[in-house]
Amino acid sequence: MTELVRLSKRMSELGLCSRREADEWIARGWVRVDGKIVAELGSKVLPHQRVSVERQAAAEQSKRVTILINKPVGYVSGQAEDGYTPAIALVKPENRWPEDKVQTVFHPTQLRSLVPAGRLDIDSVGLLVLTQDGRIAKHLIGETTSVEKEYLVRVAYSKPGRLPDADLRRLNHGLSLDGKKLLPAKVTWQNEDQLNFILREGKKRQIRRMCELVGLRVIGLKRVRIGKVKLGKLPEGQWRYLRDDEEF
């Protein structure tokens, strides 16, 4: 490949930061290409050129926080909409889980550029990740992500008897949404009215729509894990910081 690409895009591909962060660092003169500072936004590079960042960029990135919330019903993941409160409103000192072991002291500046890395719809509860770190956001919601997300889903069957095994197999692999085949999932019975779903994609209201296709109605949906990070004992409506030893 010898095509020129935008420097910010190349930095994101290399996993250095998000494209938004890249533009910020370029403007501050914190980015070098083949050892020379490049401070002009929109600059382009060849794939073989060496891209590095100054210490200030790494220091700023290390201060960025990632927060885990146990989102209750009635909160939206992102921007406020239709009078509903965004989940970020829960991130305040009085809602911090008293058992949070991270030494970080909360400061309102941590709310700046704190964005949801994946959605959880208004009727669903459980693990929601908010982060200031573009690398984590890209890892969790980028186009090529393969991070598992695990859900406990309480269901009711709309027909007499129990869901046929053939339909359970279709939930695992064989359904399409919006004209596109879904990736294989892992769907098993947790108990007689609760399913365990493990997905590697996150289409809008995906689990609810999958269930509808086989005659199941979702009564409750809770996300309990993203990658290797579990909701654990975090109480509903409370939050904690991602620990240094935790990775998605």
- As annotated, the active-site residues are 121
Tokens, residue 179: 């004209």
Question: Hey, which bits of the chain come out as E strands?
Answer: 5-6, 31-33, 36-37, 44-45, 51-53, 66-71, 75-76, 85-86, 115-116, 125-131, 149-157, 176-177, 180-181, 186-191, 194-199, 216-226, 229-230, 239-241
Q: Is 61 helix (H, G, I), strand (E, B) or coil?
A: helix
Closest CA to 126 of 84, 167, 154, 94: 154
